[in-house]
Every structure is written in C-alpha cells, then in structure tokens.
Structure 1
Amino acid sequence: MKKVVFTLLVSIGLISHIYAAPVYRCIVGKEVTFTNKPGNGCKAVNLGPISVIGTEKSPSRTTKNANNTANNNYPKESAAENATRNQGRRQILEAELANEQKALADAQKALTEGQAVRNGNEKNYAKYQERVQQLQNAVSDRQKNIDAIQKEISRL
C-alpha cells in the first residue's frame, strides 16, 4: 500500500510540474486521495521538485565481452591462498561427511529395528507401512546427503 501511495505521489508530482497545476490532498474518512480539483476537506500540497536519477547506458554485448577479455584487472588468488582455502573447505566437508555417515548408520539401524517390530497402535497394516516408509525416507535422505558431500569433495 505504501508503494502505491508513493508511486501515486511521484506520478502526481511529475504531472503537476509538467502542467503546473496545484495538487490537493483530500481526506475522506480513513482514505487519502490526491487530486487537481479542490473539494471539502482538501488542502493544497506543495510537492517540490522531483529528483530523477538515471542509469548509465549499458555497453553493447560485444563491447562488454571485449572489455572482459582485454581488461582482466580482477584480484587473483595465489596458488598458496587457493590451496589454503580449499584445505579448509575440505576439512569442513570431511567433518560433515563423517556426521552424515554416522547419521546414516543410525537411520539404517532404526529402519531394521522398525521393520522387525510392529507397535501396538499400528493395528492396521497401513500405519506400519507409513512408519517404515518414513524410516526408509530418512535413510534415503542421509544417503543423498553423503553423495552430495562426496561430489563436492571431489570438486576440490
């Protein structure tokens, strides 16, 4: 709502400067409106000049590509900095991998135990299948996490 009012104010401000017509703010109940015609409960508003900030004209694609290839002034990492950064990432990923492998082992254990036991509140087979499916999903999620972490480690 604030954006609409702001846009309305800016639009009215631009139009009022173009046409040099006075702008009136009218309050009817809780509703505020802006108009160029005075009425009951309307007061003249001085909106002042509107600032418009333009953007630079973007260069064409060919110019942009030529600048990127010819003007590579980007900061570059040394091989030592890159190796240090990758070593830190590798340690973090390996710690995450160990945690996920432990969680996978726990999930697999819970699955095997859950498949062997049928709880008393699972009188119909559908409830048992639902519980076992949740345990299988947990095992599957852990395995997917392990695969993703191993893939990330292989990229280093």
Structure 2
Amino acid sequence: MTVALPKRPMRSMIRLTLFALMAWGQAQAQGTPAEKIETLWNCKDTDGRTTLTNQQSDTVGKNCRIVSQQRVTVVPAPSKSAAKSPANFPKESVNDRAAARERQRQTLEREMAQEQDLLATAKRKLAEQEAIRSGDEKNYARVLERLRPYQDAVEVHTKNIEALKRELANLYR
C-alpha cells in the first residue's frame, strides 16, 4: 500500500499533533472517558435461524462470526452542583413559618365555616323544593329536572367541605 506524503510533512505532523493534544485536553477536562469495544455478532442456531446481536451471552452454543468490532468512547456528563441561594437571599425563620401556618389554618377554618353555612342553606332549599308538588308535575322526570340544580348545589358544597378538611389535615405534615 502506497501513501502519498504531503509536500511539507513536518507542518502536517505538527498540526496533527496539536489537534490530537487539543482533543486529549478537552477529554481530560470533561472527565475520564471510558473506552469499550463494541462487537456485533452474526449467529446461526441449530435450526438455521440467523440472529444479529451485540450481547456475548447470546452467542453461547451458536455458530457465530464477528461482523464488526469498533471502539466506543463514552464520556461521562459533568456533574452538576446544587444551586446555591445568594448570600443576601432572605431566610424564613421557624417562628415566621409557624405564624404563616397559623394564618393559613385560620383562613381555612373561616372558609370551612362559610361552606358549612352555604351547605345548610342549600339543604334547606332542597328540602323546600322536595316538599312542593305542582299539578303539572305528574311525571317524575320533571320533578327530578326541577330538583337537579338544588341537588348540584348541595353536592358542590359537600365536596368543598371535604377538600377543606383535606387541606387542614395536610397543613402540619
């Protein structure tokens, strides 16, 4: 095999060496790369089925030949440091946090009392509507249709109360 040399082989060698040194320096700065040889096998089993694999454990007991073999360089990702808060960033004291939780608890309890009042009002209105029967409501579907908004209001307030109870329970977790 004949290789044609450049007219100025020394300059080319220097450039090639500098390039190799720069690449090596970058690899060292990013972390030590792990080199691995990746091998691809073409195997035939006893039934004559052909399989391509890169797992050496799959080649046991089969007639295999190496199709390709190449070096794979894996460079680990640089480790990320945890984000630091600035020195002048305000810190919350234990007392401030306790006071904030207390205010939040009071607000939730106030909302709970309002929702319970609204639920009682909605139940009262539903009971009033259930007691009323007009002459044109002989069809039970019409009665249900008339009562549906009142039942929905009761359901909404009941779900709101359940959600407020969950929030109060999770407040001190």
TM-score (norm: length of structure 2)? 0.47
Question: Is structure 2 residue 130 aligned with structure 1 residue 115?
Answer: yes
Identity %: 40
Question: Is structure 2 residue 100 aligned with structure 1 residue 85?
Answer: yes
Partner of residue 104, structure 1: 119
Larger Rg: 1 or 2? 2
Name the CA shift for 1:78/1:137 in 2 (closer, same or farther; >3 Å).
same
Bigger shift: residues 79-88 or 116-125: 116-125
Unpaired runs of 5+ residues, structure 2, are 1-76
Name the CA shift for 1:150/1:61 in 2 (closer, same or farther; >3 Å).
farther
Q: 2:134 and 2:78 mapped to 1: Cα distance?
A: 66
How far off is 1:124 after superposition?
Answer: 4.0
Q: Report which of the two has the higher share of helix.
A: 1
How far off is 1:105 after superposition?
Answer: 0.8
Superposed CA RMSD in Å reads 2.3
* Residue in structure 2 matching 1:149, options 164, 167, 172: 164
SS at match of 2:154: helix
* Residue in structure 2 matching 1:132, options 147, 155, 168: 147
Q: Report which of the two has the higher share of strand.
A: 2
Q: What is the correspondence of 1:31-110 to structure 2 with a 5 Å cutoff?
A: 62-63=79-80, 66-68=81-83, 71-73=84-86, 75-110=90-125
Partner of residue 69, structure 2: none
How far off is 1:67 after superposition?
Answer: 2.0
How far off is 1:144 after superposition?
Answer: 0.5
SS at match of 1:145: helix
Q: Count residues in correspondence.
A: 93
Q: 1:98 and 1:122 mapped to 2: Cα distance?
A: 36
Unpaired runs of 5+ residues, structure 1, are 1-59
TM-score (norm: length of structure 1)? 0.52
* 1:85-117 superposed Cα distances (whole Å, 9 cap, x missing partner): 111111111111000001111111111221121
Q: 1:122 and 1:145 mapped to 2: Cα distance?
A: 32
